[in-house]
Structure formats: structure tokens, C-alpha cells
Amino acid sequence: MRPRLQVTSVTIGTSQPRELARFYAQLLGLPVTTEEGPAPDEPDEAGWAQIRQPTGAAALTLNFEYERCYARPMWPSVRGEQTASQHLDIAVDDLDAAVEWAVGCGAVLAEFQPQDDVRVLLDPDGHPFCLFR
């Protein structure tokens, strides 16, 4: 019999975990629930952070983990360059207002937009994410 398996969180590798957690916390209106500084012998920007819904709410948790050899992904992908191996899809009611909010939080609208009803943006460390209706 298959044991119970449940995905509870996604961990995003980054060069700036605490800053990226604060960006997504502001973007999504969620609290930063955990924030740890660098371990001994790590640079100041190292560490770990987490955002999630308040206790009792069934929702995905986002963790942000320092990656010593992080390379900003290229989106859309370019042969021979670091690619984005995953991205967040975020449902919105008003696409234009959501894009304006995301840019105000520190995101950048990607130059290439593959669909009329989806907007691809880049977070402050270069990870793509999609806003869609």
C-alpha cells in the first residue's frame, strides 16, 4: 500500500534568501515566518527564510535557501546558459493591477511574453514567475 505523501513546500535556491523572502512576503501578503542568518564562514547574504499562510490555513509554504554557486537563470532559456528549472504560477483577478503591484514590489516584467492572458515577471534574483487570470 502506498504511504501517505503530501507536498507541503517549495524551496527556492537563491543568492539572497532573506531579501527574496521579504519580496515574496510583500508580493503575496504573507508573513515571513522564519529568517536565519549565515552559518559560520558564510557570506552576510547567506542564510534561510520562509513565508507561509498563518497556522491552520492549507497552503503551500515557500522556503528560500542560500545557494553558494547560484547563477541567475535566463528566461526564456538560452542554449548553454543557466535555465529556470521551475517557476511559480500565481492566479490573479486583475492582470494589469497585479503586474503593477509586482513591479512596485521589485519585480521586472520580462521582455518576452508568450501569452495574452499571462504575464511573466522576474523576481529580484532573476527567478521567473507567472501571473495569470
Distance CA(77)–CA(83), nearest Å, equals 5
What pTM did the predictor assign?
0.92
pLDDT digits (tens, 9 = 90+) for 52-103: 987 765 677 999 999 999 999 999 999 999 998 899 999 999 999 999 999 9
Query: What integer pLDDT is reported at residue 56 of this predicted model?
Result: 64
The CATH classification number of 88-132 equals: 3.10.180.10
Q: Does the 9-66 domain belong in CATH 3.10.180.10?
A: yes
The CA–CA distances, whole Å, from 112 to 3, 71, 89, 108 equal: 42, 20, 16, 12
**Quick check: do 9-66 and 88-132 share a fold?**
yes
Domain boundaries, the chain: 9-66, 88-132
